[in-house]
Structure 1
Amino acid sequence: MGKAASASQRPEAEGAEAQGPAGGGVPRHVAIIMDGNGRWAKARGLPRAAGHRQGAEAARKVLRAAGEAGVECLTLYAFSSENWRRPEDEINDLMGLLRLYIARELGALHKEGIRIKILGDHGVFSPETARMVDEAVAKTANNQRMTLAIALNYGSRLELVKAAQTLAARAATGEIAPSDIDEAALEASLDTADLPPLDLLIRTSGEHRLSNFLLWQAAYAELLFVDTLWPDFDGDALRAALRAFAGRERRFGGR
């Protein structure tokens, strides 16, 4: 597991330049559990919606920094299947923010060659929200410079269950034999099938758990837990995380 890093432990605090990692290479696929919006707002006497709005701004900064560093895919945990337990007004704020983000950023994302991919089932959202998401995915489908994968109504356990059901149904019809079901077959049935292998998973706000996010994909990913609340996470913070990744030796169980 990754060692928690406070702001004082970040390379910037030691006088290092804010630039991409050297030596160990850039991770192809970075995923982030964007945690701490509520606590950020509470500490400032603001409503939780203000934290979510600032969190959307952080996502914009991090996406730009990831692209500049050469990351092929950035996956953001935007709305989990467990988030439905939150108060209705907060859920409405989050959905409104998602629509605003798409309306405001889609043109720029498309112009910059960024493909939008959705993990999870966004079809349960309101018709307007689902339509906007579908249009964003369709508009950017052929872009190749970078992928922004957004996890919406996503839960990793359910993803694995659905993959198992898909393979079981294919086996039941004789399309495949049960013995054909291996790791590669399961992986090909996941929402992330067309994404690069996950290299680095970051969680902000000081929490040290995966919260049902990319459980299969994180098997050999490097994990990095940082104390910074998500609204305060920016391009410099991402570059620090990339340098931390570059300094790690990845063994994949080999020794």
Structure 2
Amino acid sequence: MNRPKLKRIPRHIGVIPDGNRRWAVKNGLPKEAGYEKGLEPGLMLYEMCVELGIQELTFYGFTQDNTRRPSVQRQAFQKACVDAVNMLAHRDASLLVIGDYHSPLFPRELLPYTKRHTFGKDLIRINFLVNYGWKWDLSHAQKHFLSSANAPARGLLDSIASAEISRIDLIIRWGGRRRLSGFLPVQSIYADFYVVDELWPDFAPEHFYQALNWYETQDITLGG
């Protein structure tokens, strides 16, 4: 499928790259082998977003709930997240990793990226959710408002852990599941949600273009 001519593109896209384990099983591999197969699709999607002028892109890496999986799988998706950030580092982007970095389950290699780092021409903002949990995210606001010293200074939405991530226009989930799985509940409040039935390691450019074509047909009112 050729690149479509788009009259309206989303400013911020969220990506839920699901289906890595199912892909591995389908191909006769152990479940943990599927995570590294999701790295190249992420790089392809980055390049397509830069070409289209997408301003912000957020990837769902792994959640706090995911860490209850067997240790061999946990180690595999932790490594995949580190590799993904390293692949995009030093390109024309600014990178931010959001997640509970106080936990030992947060990869130590990603600690420098818990503050946004800008590289090259800074053509796109990229956010990775790593060891992320929606309760963890929102609890930051609760802690803020329990502090009488800080409460008057900042509002609720400015106090969540992911406050630096902007409102999402379009969420695309690969792998056929019809759920958000706790993906940035505040920023997703008015997002359109598109599901790709193919598994994430089977990513193809037409999946992304089909999502963008669908998005063009949506009536974006933001409740108005």
Question: How does the TM-score come out when normalised to structure 2?
Answer: 0.88
Deviation per CA, 1:67-99, whole angstroms, max 9, x where unpaired?
Answer: 111111110110101011100111112223333
Query: Runs (4+) of structure 1 moved beyond 4 Å?
Result: 136-139
Asked if 1:147 is matched to 2:131, the reply is no
Identity of aligned residues (%): 28
> Which residue, 106, 111, 135 being the options, matches 1:134?
111
Deviation per CA, 1:196-251, whole angstroms, max 9, x where unpaired?
Answer: 32101111111111111111211111111221111112333212212211221112
**Aligned residues of 2:19 and 2:199 also touching (Cα < 8 A):** yes
Query: In proportion to residue count, which structure has more helix?
Result: 1
Count of aligned positions: 223
- Distance in 2 between residues matched to 1:203 and 1:139, nearest whole Å: 25
Asked if 1:99 is matched to 2:82, the reply is yes
1:8 counterpart residue number: none
In angstroms, what is the RMSD of aligned CA positions?
2.3
Change (3 A) 1:98 1:220: closer
Change (3 A) 1:101 1:174: closer
Change (3 A) 1:125 1:194: same
Change (3 A) 1:20 1:114: farther
> Which residue, 139, 146, 160 being the options, matches 1:168?
146
> Which residue, 87, 94, 102 being the options, matches 2:70?
87
5+ residue gaps, structure 2: none
1:158 counterpart residue number: 136
Residue 190 of structure 1: how far off its partner (Å): 2.5
Q: State the one-letter code of the partner of 1:237.
A: H
Structure number with bigger Rg: 1
Asked if 1:113 is matched to 2:83, the reply is no
2:218 counterpart residue number: 248
Deviation per CA, 1:163-190, whole angstroms, max 9, x where unpaired?
Answer: 2221331xx23751xxx87xxx222123
1:32 counterpart residue number: 15
Change (3 A) 1:137 1:160: closer
Q: State the one-letter code of the partner of 2:30.
A: P
5+ residue gaps, structure 1: 1-11, 13-17
**Aligned residues of 1:117 and 1:137 also touching (Cα < 8 A):** yes
2:101 counterpart residue number: 122
**Larger RCO: Structure 1 or Structure 2 (Cα < 8 Å, ≥ 6 residues apart)?**
1
Residue 137 of structure 1: how far off its partner (Å): 5.8
Say which is worse superposed, 132-141 or 198-207, in terms of deviation.
132-141
Deviation per CA, 1:27-70, whole angstroms, max 9, x where unpaired?
Answer: 11100111101111111111223211111221111111111111
2:24 counterpart residue number: 41
Secondary structure of the structure 2 residue equivalent to 1:79: strand
1:223 counterpart residue number: 193
